[in-house]
A and B are shown apart, each in its own frame.
Chain A
């Protein structure tokens, strides 16, 4: 290697560190965001898959809220399409641990030998699983630990004499379910088996299904869930098997059991985390794009400047390849160091900040992910780092290598007679070469497809960012055309500002893009934050929201239950509803099948409709709109008058989101099958329902007269904030009304609150990352365009422009950029929210957008621009214009 190269490289490195330090810092932050996101995504996917496996336990599940029809079971069990299967019937019951002990709510799972299909449940001692058929039970290890329950010895587990069982009960080695006592054969460690979406957080007890049937535990229950877990043969024809299964289930006439596949379970497991993650994805990638934009522009302009230095060195005899290595190699070195530091920081952020929060989204132990630990992550990371580096350096390297004063590196490849495709291709390459921000945008979006599994989200990002980019480019073109045109009658300072924007179209577009994205993301973040805060407030206002639900109350016990729930609480609000099971028969005399055909196969609307049409559902009847907890409001039509409660009114009020999905309008007629009697009602109102309100909500509310003769059960909801008082009241309730079911939703409210708080924490974290990036980029943008701005304004000063005109012009330049950026950003944020809302979120996850964030964020951007303009103007005015103009470019 030449003797001059090494010292020259070191000297260049020192100088380029100074010039590229901001670009390096922004790049580092961008890489940190990407790495953290990549790891979070990998963790989310692996954890969701594990959770889906744990929830379902097989390839598919057929379930119903009553016992599955024998005919269906026979056809499924005799088919060669099914490799393995197991049946689980679950129900919620009361169990007591001592003879006179207070009963506790437990979920009983009546299982077969082969449960579970997937090896997820660990049992201690190992032989205890075999004791189930003999009549023992397994209990949750956490439940056992809380209540000091220990398994019986192997010998005791075979002695079912009443005396022995009573002794075991006294020693907390047996448990009473209903009237029967069962020895605790073993403990099940099954935390990862918990269904995240399950409303029942009761502790689980496992019992052999044939024992449960024999002891008549199942037949006595009103609220059961019967599931058949199926594993198909491993022949790569899973889709065919699922299709066959759905077809078989569809033949069932008496009822319509639901079919759930592993994919459905994955979606269910993913859903709570997914809506949060979508937001983090949006912010993370936007931060990456934002941070990379500044770096790309900085590197591009740096290498362009080095062209002159290279010419001088080349004239002095330095070899051109070595010069390319000197300058481009230098930038590659700095970029590589920045990326390495960024990836390290990203891992740190993930481990310290993101991973602990993600742990709250899932149950079970955390799955460890690292950049090098998993093949897929390492591969994605390597490709990401390569694409990032290349897209940052390539435009600058081409600009450096091309002929002086030539606008293209590909000029030698062009000739007059080139065919059209070649012209287009070279034109595209020239475009990329001259627009580093464009190539960065394309690369970042490609990366988003690589790193994220959210194809729908990526498409939205492509649409929004392309729209923003093109709008801003057009805005710059428009403003630069306006320039100093004498035909436009505007103050000179504004016209000079416009011409300055046009003087640096790339810089101006970049600045606009930065401002636009800044406004877009901050507004979006603000809206999301407000939504999360609202949800937290909904979930955590424990003194107001119901946390105890009593189901299956017989009509003649309604008053008594009401009194029990009211004990010790003056003025306690107790909500009661009459509930009847019903099936939707037709809408406007069209059978439900016809309605289903309106929807695209596999669409979310169809799935929702199918869920509604194919099952029995709960209906209620009310004489007025529920005013409790602000849970619902009429948004269209008129709810029947309270005074009409005793007269026959065949009307129904429908939840607005469902009505929208099913195209149900005011005036339509709906027919329900209520316990075998068709009831035709007219839609007279639509209600917006707050599903997060924790109160019982219904899609359909009938007039009381419609259910006058129908059998019904009662549902109560109230708030029992004090845990001791809650236990006392529930125990009293179970003693007097052992047939009712109660659900304690306190833990769910706390879980939701924890989840949302963790989301809020992450929003704060991303805000810090994003703000620092945006601020750095604004400085970077002002810095890279400073020399040209200083030169132009020095000329204006020589031409007689006074300090005021100079300052006003610079101020107006930044102000125009800030205003255009704010308008574009506000529009983009609205577009982003709307697209995410329509394409990805369900009706339950409404984003409430307000104008305040746009105004506030735009004002902050204008303020930052004003400060930048003033600082920039003062720096320019401090220079001697005549001397500055004499300096070489």
Chain B
């Protein structure tokens, strides 16, 4: 269960004012949910993801994930939590350009202290259909392939939470569709909770649930294709 309670996030603006990015967001999301996160630019989608991953702390409110107090945990615990429980997929892939596909995946497994990191990395790349591209560097791969390497990296530690920040934003429709389906199927297979930030409402509608943010406030939370919270 992901428990988000009355979370507010403020940043100081260049003019010295307080800019409220998230405003009293509250949501209880069951584990294993598949959620599309939609909203206009600046509505707080990325900030919400960042706080769920424990990369930023809320100004007020709290977040607990499967009982783990993300908003109050210490730095070392948060790092361990991110390494083992969270997988990230970014719009711009965020692969290390000087490493091969295998090494890009391997580094995530190594940081998590995986006992057989290399095997896990190879299996992960096999899952995403890149077993023949292990030694290729990012600039030797297409955009869709790069994103699949990023997905392999996100799932190598079999996380309970997959956070995707507009992962299809830089892809052509066909590649975007393939990537969406891959993430969706892998998260289902792993039983992980999926937060899929996108501007594409059509894609978001293909997921079981949806979070809509508007000016930092939660305007809509649909946990399954059936009802709203």
Q: Which residues of A approach B to under 8 Å, CB–CB?
A: 480, 483-486, 492, 495-496, 499, 502-503, 792, 795-805, 880-883, 885-886
Contact = CB atoms under 8 A, between A and B. Distances in A.
B107 interface: yes
Interface of B: 46, 49-50, 53, 55-56, 75-76, 79-84, 86, 88, 90-92, 94, 96-99, 102-103, 106-108, 110-112, 117-118, 121, 153, 165
B98 A799 contact: no
Contacts of A801: 79, 83, 111
A503 B97 contact: yes
A480 B79 contact: no
B93 to A, nearest CB: 10
Given A486-B118, A799-B82, A882-B56, A503 B96 contact: yes
Given A499-B99, A880-B56, A486 B46 contact: no
Contacts of B83: 799-801
30 contacts: A483-B99, A484-B103, A486-B106, A486-B118, A499-B98, A499-B99, A502-B98, A503-B98, A792-B96, A797-B55, A798-B82, A798-B88, A799-B88, A799-B108, A799-B153, A800-B79, A800-B80, A800-B81, A800-B82, A800-B112, A803-B79, A880-B56, A881-B55, A882-B46, A882-B50, A882-B55, A883-B50, A885-B90, A885-B94, A886-B90
Nearest to B77: A802
A275 to B, nearest CB: 47
A883 B90 CA distance: 11
A492 B111 CA distance: 8
A483 B82 contact: no
B75 A484 contact: no
Nearest to B78: A802
Contact of A802 (B53, B80, B121): B80
A480 B79 CA distance: 26
Nearest to A485: B103
A800 B154 CA distance: 11
B98 A480 contact: yes
Contacts of A883: 46, 50
Nearest to A877: B75
Nearest to A480: B98
Nearest to B82: A800
Nearest to B117: A486
Given A798-B55, A798-B88, A802-B75, A882 B49 contact: yes
Contacts of B76: 802-804
Contacts of A881: 55
A79 B56 CA distance: 98
Contacts of B165: 882, 886
The A contact surface, by secondary structure, is helix
Where chain B touches its partner, the secondary structure class is helix
Given A486-B117, A882-B53, A882-B56, A799 B107 contact: yes
B111 A796 contact: yes
Contact of A800 (B46, B84, B92, B96): B84
Nearest to A405: B139
Contacts of A803: 75-76, 79
Contacts of B99: 483-484, 499
B70 to A, nearest CB: 14
Contact of A483 (B53, B98, B117, B118): B98
B101 to A, nearest CB: 12
Contacts of A792: 96
B114 to A, nearest CB: 11
Given A792-B96, A799-B82, A880-B55, A483 B103 contact: yes
A649 B53 CA distance: 94
A629 B153 CA distance: 75
A18 B78 CA distance: 37
Contacts of B94: 795, 798, 885
Given A499-B96, A795-B94, A802-B75, 20 more contacts: A480-B98, A483-B98, A483-B103, A484-B99, A484-B107, A485-B103, A486-B102, A798-B94, A799-B88, A799-B153, A800-B82, A800-B83, A800-B111, A802-B79, A803-B79, A882-B49, A882-B165, A883-B50, A885-B92, A886-B90
Contacts of A483: 98-99, 103
Contacts of A499: 96, 98-99, 103
A485 B46 CA distance: 33
A484 B97 CA distance: 13
Contacts of A503: 96-98
Nearest to B96: A792
A805 B76 CA distance: 10
A492 B110 contact: yes
A792 B92 CA distance: 13
Contacts of A797: 55, 79, 82
Nearest to B75: A803
Given A805-B111, A886-B46, A798 B79 contact: no
A225 to B, nearest CB: 72
A882 B50 CA distance: 6
A798 B103 contact: no
A800 B75 CA distance: 10
A20 B111 CA distance: 37
B106 A484 contact: yes
A880 B51 CA distance: 11
A484 B103 CA distance: 6
A7 to B, nearest CB: 23
Contacts of A796: 107, 111
A792 to B, nearest CB: 6
Closest 6 CB pairs of A and B: A800-B83, A802-B79, A503-B98, A882-B50, A800-B82, A486-B118
A581 to B, nearest CB: 75
Nearest to B56: A880
B117 A795 contact: no
A880 B11 CA distance: 12
A302 B212 CA distance: 41
B97, B108, B117, most chain A CB atoms within 10 A: B108
Contacts of A885: 90, 92, 94
B172 to A, nearest CB: 18
Nearest to B85: A800
Nearest to A492: B110
Contacts of B84: 800
A496 B111 CA distance: 10
A798 B112 CA distance: 11
A834 B81 CA distance: 57
A885 B97 CA distance: 14
A880 B56 CA distance: 7
Contacts of A886: 46, 90-91, 165
B140 to A, nearest CB: 13
A586 to B, nearest CB: 69
B196 to A, nearest CB: 16
Contacts of A502: 98
A492 B79 CA distance: 15
Contact of B111 (A485, A799, A880): A799
A508 to B, nearest CB: 11
Nearest to B153: A799
Nearest to A504: B98
A798 B108 CA distance: 9
Contacts of B50: 880, 882-883
Contacts of B86: 800
B89 to A, nearest CB: 11
A819 B171 CA distance: 44
Contacts of B111: 492, 796, 799-801, 805
Contacts of B79: 797, 800-803, 805
Contacts of B102: 486
Contacts of B112: 800
Contacts of A492: 110-111
A619 to B, nearest CB: 71
Contacts of A495: 110
Nearest to B107: A484
A478 B78 CA distance: 35
Contacts of B121: 486
Nearest to A881: B55
